[in-house]
Each structure stands twice: as structure tokens, then as C-alpha cells.
Structure 1
Amino acid sequence: MIFITNSIEINDNDLDLDFIRSPGPGGQKVNKAATAVQLRFDVENATALPDLVRQRLLRLAKNRITAQGILIIEAHRFRSQHRNRQDALDRFVALVRKATEKPRLRRKTNPPPLSKQRRLEKKRRRSQLKRMRRTPAAQDL
């Protein structure tokens, strides 16, 4: 069991871990050791996730989710399989925890009058500077 929050726990059977060859430069064992980890989780059919969390997770990780609704996390930061496996699980837990957080509602605000005044004054100064750079013939027109 992987504990995400007090109310959400994901069964190990819901996660599919595949070990693949790590990309990038290697050494003597570059074509032998499959140290990179590819974690797959079916978000669409996950019974452990509430609907709101599932929707937020789909929105948060939209670039890592396939058309079938499967979340894919690849970990190949470390040279050992064990550390890459733990890294993938940690990133997965962090992503789901982030999806459990309720987004804060944005309150619409207006800029203060002084900042509006400063912005317009800055624009006037910039306009004056560009006007002064023109050739005298262009100013007469």
C-alpha cells in the first residue's frame, strides 16, 4: 500500500513498474543493465481516487497522460535501479498529493490608482524620448 493522505491509499497492484534501459551516455554496461524505471498508473479506472482528485490529476499531469488515461512517470536520474524506482514512486506520490489540494479561489482585484498613474507617466516619458530621436523633417509632418 502506498499512503497518499489519511483517506487515500493506492494498492501496489494498481502501479505497473517496468525497468528499461536508461537513455544517455553509458559505460561498459550500457546495453546490459535496465536501470531506468517507467511507472504506469491508470488514472481513468483508479477506484482509490475520488472524482475531484482524479480530475485535478488529469489536469495537472496532462502531458504525461496517454489517450487511454494512463499516467507515465519515467525515472532515470540515478545509476541504480532501486534509487530510480524510489524516485519514480516519490514523484508519483507528490503529484497525487498536489492533486488532493484544493486550488485557492482567485479574488479579482484592481490595480491601485498610483500604479496606474506611474505606468502612464512612464509611457509618456518613453514616447517623448522616441519623439526626440526622430529626424527634424519627420517632426514637421
Structure 2
Amino acid sequence: MKDFSKELNFKTSRSSGAGGQNVNKVETAVTVLWNVGASEFFNEDEKALIESKLKNRINSEGLLFLTVSESRTQLMNKNKAIEKIIEIVNKALIIPKKRLATKPSKGQKQKRLDTKKKISDKKESRRFKF
């Protein structure tokens, strides 16, 4: 897990929604911006992986951005934004294992067929016969 928080830039704004006077006068919402292409913490392959997996969060200038306005204080929102962006990027760096196709064994096939036959016989015995 890489901590690239030194490369992050922050912008503050007023939070939206209800909240009374605090919302109207205090800039508590925090937007964190990170330039993926200019990062020194990641190599070119990792940058390409991040850009491909997070392309819907990266704008045309190559900035990954995230806005947090969960808390009433700017400092808590800033800390949450750092945690979230690090978590998002680290998840993007995980390469899933390729699935190996497998087949059921002969024993499993036979067990399935035997179970089907038992159920079929049970239902057949319930039928009314003339």
C-alpha cells in the first residue's frame, strides 16, 4: 500500500444540503486532486493500470478527483478524502487472478445423476396409476 499523500492538492468549498448557518458560512467540503501522470511514486505500468481502471474519475487534464463532505469539519473531511483516494488507487492496482476453467469429476457427475434419479423415482411413485 503506497502512501502518495504528499502529491495531493486540496480545494475547499461550501457543503451542499441542509445544515443551517454552519453550511452557509464555512467551507467544509474538501476536494482532493491528484495528477496521475506526474506521480513519482508509481512506475509507468502502474500509472497505466490506474488510468484504465479509474478513467471515469479522471478528467481530461489527467487529474483524479474526489469530493468529501461527510463531516462538519474541514480537517476530518480532508483526512477522509486522503484515506478514500489512497484506498481507491490501491484497489485499482490489484490485478485479479485469471480463472482456470475446471470440469466436474466423474464422481460428482454420477452423484448428481443419482440424486436426480432418486427424486424422479420418488415423484413417479406419487402419481396415481389406473
Report the TM-score when normalising by structure 1. Answer: 0.66
In structure 2, which of residues 57, 64, 71 is the aligned counterpart of residue 71 of structure 1? Answer: 64
- What does 1:37-116 correspond to in 2, within 5 Å? 37-109=30-102
Which residue identity does 1:104 align to in structure 2? K
How has the CA–CA distance of structure 1 residues 55 and 110 changed in structure 2, closer, same or farther, with 3 Å as cutoff?
A: farther
Q: Which residue of 2 aligns with 1:10?
A: 4
Report the TM-score when normalising by structure 2. Answer: 0.71
Equivalent pairs: percent with the same residue?
29
For CA contacts below 8 A with separation 6 or more, give which structure has more relative contact order: 2
5+ unaligned residues in a row in structure 1: which ranges?
Answer: 119-141
Within 2, Cα distance between the matches of 1:59 and 1:83?
A: 30
Q: Which of 92-101 and 38-47 deviates more?
A: 92-101
The 8 Å contact of residues 14 and 28 in structure 2, kept in 1 or not, is answered as yes
The Cα shift of 1:94 comes to: 0.7
The Cα shift of 1:56 comes to: 2.0
The SS at the match of 2:72 is coil
Which residue identity does 1:100 align to in structure 2? L
The 8 Å contact of residues 60 and 99 in structure 1, kept in 2 or not, is answered as yes
The Cα shift of 1:75 comes to: 0.6
Within 1, Cα distance between the matches of 2:59 and 2:75?
A: 26
The Cα shift of 1:85 comes to: 0.4
Which residue identity does 1:58 align to in structure 2? E
Q: CA RMSD in A?
A: 2.3
The Cα shift of 1:72 comes to: 0.4
Within 2, Cα distance between the matches of 1:11 and 1:23?
A: 26
- When the two structures are aligned, how many residues end up with a matched partner? 109
How has the CA–CA distance of structure 1 residues 59 and 34 changed in structure 2, closer, same or farther, with 3 Å as cutoff?
A: same
The Cα shift of 1:40 comes to: 0.2
Which residue identity does 2:65 align to in structure 1? I
The SS at the match of 2:75 is helix
The SS at the match of 1:53 is helix
Which residue identity does 2:56 align to in structure 1? N
